[in-house]
Amino acid sequence: MEYRELAVPGAFEITPKQFGDPRGVFLEAFKAGPFADAVGHAFDLQQANCSVSAAGVLRGIHFADVPPSQAKYVMAVQGAVLDVVVDIRVGSPTFGTWDAVLLDDVDRRAIYLSEGLGHAFMSLEDGSTVMYLCSSGYAPGREHGIHPLDPEVGIDWPTTARDGSPLAPLLSEKDEAAPTLAEAKEQGLLPTQDAVRDYVGTLV
């Protein structure tokens, strides 16, 4: 596995080595040792989620209160999505910065987002199936969102599907009603850089 830290500190692109033969393909989707070496602590798996999305479905930008927030190790087991991480940590030198990784069933990359970061993705074809390994369970009262089309964040979402057809974003009612990054900051919803650093520092 190869780990590459993204433009948002605390987020990594993970590229596995694939072993193919006439029967198909085998790969290691997650490995605890290399993960801890790259990130600096172990991954405490508490919940695994799966979503299936039509082309154009846009999920996010989602995040959770710190502590404990919710770190995510995300991969597409079928189809393709553009997966995006956003730095929403108030006081971070890269606050508002985003970076993206193409997750698909060809290169089979994964993305890791540490606690205190925002996460979103857009499906690039029908039936795109995404698996999330999460460091904490879903807690409705601690979950929040930022509008994924917020011009201040300025994510460059795809306009063309994997098959070349036009792509239009399709949001849930909840994501459509989410505040902008500035509004979320004003409402005190965003984690601070110090709070995230202090919490992550307790992980082993």
Distance CA 2, CA 92 (A): 26
Structure token digits, residue 186: 């004003």
3-state class of 173 per DSSP? helix
The whole-number pLDDT of residue 191 equals 98
147 is catalytic: no
- 68 cis-preceded (ω within 30 degrees of 0): yes
Do 115 and 200 meet the contact criterion of CB atoms below 8 Å apart? yes
73 is catalytic: no
The whole-number pLDDT of residue 69 equals 95
The whole-number pLDDT of residue 61 equals 98
Q: Which of 62, 119, 144, 147 is catalytic?
A: 62
Do 63 and 146 meet the contact criterion of CB atoms below 8 Å apart? yes
The whole-number pLDDT of residue 115 equals 97
Q: Which of 41, 132, 138, 147 is catalytic?
A: 132
Identity at 158, one-letter amino acid code: P
pLDDT 10s digit of each residue in the chain, 204 long? 999 999 999 999 999 999 999 999 999 999 999 999 999 999 999 999 999 999 999 999 999 999 999 999 999 999 999 999 999 999 999 999 999 999 999 999 999 999 999 999 999 999 999 999 999 999 999 999 999 999 999 999 999 999 999 999 999 999 999 999 999 999 999 999 999 999 999 999
Q: Which domains does the chain have, with CATH numbers?
A: 2-200 (2.60.120.10)
Identity at 19, one-letter amino acid code: F
The whole-number pLDDT of residue 22 equals 97
The whole-number pLDDT of residue 42 equals 97
- Using a 10 angstrom Cβ sphere, with 0-12 exposed, 13-18 middle and 19 or more buried, the burial of residue 87 is buried
Length of the chain: 204
